[in-house]
Chain A
Amino acid sequence: MSDTTSARILDFITARFPQAEITETEDIFSLGYINSLFAMELVMFVENTFGIRIPNDQLRLDDFRTVKAMTELVNRLRPAAAVPTA
């Protein structure tokens, strides 16, 4: 589980908010966790961990709303040969 893209994103979020119980499809914005500081950390984590650069025009709210959406964003931006399991 921890080898998958979604699990690594989920691990990052829950490490920052140990009290939170978040599922892959839960809207993290609705839980009140997101501010600009965490948003920056989240983008840095995703870019650094998965070796991608998210273009300005793809930094959309809906792509960061859930772990599932972030996983799909990563898989879209990662070179085709490197796309792993979800």
Chain B
Amino acid sequence: MTDQLTAPAAAPAALPAPPAPDRASARAFTDAHLVPAAEEMDRRGAVPEDLLTLIGEAGLWAPFLPPALGGSGTSMVTLGEIHEEIGRGCSSTRSLLTVHTMVCWALHRWGTPEQLRRWAPGLAAGRLLGAFCLSEPGAGSDTAALATTAAPADGGGWLLNGTKTWITGGQRADLYLVFAQGPSGTIALLVPRRARGVRVTPIEGMLGTRAAMLAEITFSDVRLDSRALLGPSGFASGMVLTGTLDLGRYSVAAGSVGIIQACLDACAAHTARRTVGGSPLRDLPLIQAKLTDMVTDVRAARLLLAEAGRLKDAGDAATIMATWIAKYFASTAAARHASEAVQIHGALGCAPGSPVARCYRDAKVMEIIEGSNEIQRMTIAAEAHRRWTP
């Protein structure tokens, strides 16, 4: 039983730590490696291995982890800036960073010293990739409806059964963070991909984030030892999911800011080039109105994101609601402006290989993942009633 959680093959000799990434280095990385490759990755439905390696060499997989665990100790504000820049170039790549971040954060926050020793260095370097497994064929945001079960196994440990779907990075991940119904509520388990009973089925042809290597993961009588449990059980177990989703929303909000910026960049360039009736498109008031709204919203979304990040860095509980609001605002703005970006580009925006068409498809996904925008509205409205109802 325990061999399924034995440590991965011995890690290679330690490499020199890369310099701590920041917005500037992430921007340079994006312009050098993602912008030129994003369309091809979208078409092929995968982020190639050499790019995954480059991400690791740039220290971008989990820079917020402390140096002792292999990270760079970057702040959450900086992490948001990095994910924005990556998202500006390729939402699929940013999605892989998102789920990896969620697994790393959960491990850092809730992991035992043994779990940290075992998994953190590989995850920090990108030698191991993580994926977040919550959604099921019959359950998305409704965790009470999860059908995947983790039953206490004879002799100790857990017996995992169920199917997870729409798992970003699932085709490629080495370690799954799986949420399942335990004896007294939802629990989180660290499940190695190579555990016996794990089956991975690629999902292709999605509307957006097509290169994010989605998969359906089936767990059939997967036996795990007691060390697979991440975080508390009992009444506090739901906090693992709440906290992990909070990081996911933060990253999606950042990626949404990146999408708006990409649309703005493309539209500013296109409307300066393209003429109608002998004048540049940029001279038309209706075009100016669209660009004005993009400029305003990208700045507003970036500020909301930065505020959520600042509160995370301060350990302030208000970050959770601030992150809900940032994700809601940024994702709805991204969808709206990506639609306008296609409109501004006309047929060019609908053509194969159009960057704004990819943004349009990717932006729609942002309104759905890590809590649909309808769920977000319910949560934000509930907060309003708590705070301001007499």
Contact = CB atoms under 8 A, between A and B. Distances in A.
B24 interface: no
Interface residues of A, number: 23
Interface centre among B112, B379, B386, B389 (most CB of A within 10 A): B386
A16 B386 contact: yes
* Size class of the B contact interface (CB-based, 8 Å): 20 to 34
9 contacts: A19-B389, A36-B242, A37-B242, A40-B239, A41-B318, A48-B315, A56-B112, A56-B232, A64-B235
Contacts, number: 61
Nearest to A39: B239
Given A18-B387, A36-B241, A59 B236 contact: yes
A56 B234 contact: no
Nearest to A55: B232
A60 B234 contact: yes
Contacts of A44: 315-317, 319-320
Interface of B: 110, 112, 231-232, 234-236, 238-239, 241-243, 246, 314-320, 379, 386-387, 389
Interface of A: 12, 16-19, 35-37, 39-45, 47-48, 56-57, 59-61, 64
Nearest to A57: B232
Given A37-B242, A39-B242, A61 B231 contact: no
Contacts of B236: 39, 43, 56, 59-61
B320 A37 contact: yes
Contacts of A36: 238-239, 241-242
A64 B316 CA distance: 19
Nearest to A60: B234
Contact of B243 (A35, A40, A60): A40
B316 A40 contact: no
Contacts of B318: 41
B320 A41 contact: yes
A48 B312 CA distance: 11
B125 to A, nearest CB: 26
Contacts of B243: 40
Nearest to B319: A44
Contacts of B110: 56
Contacts of B314: 48
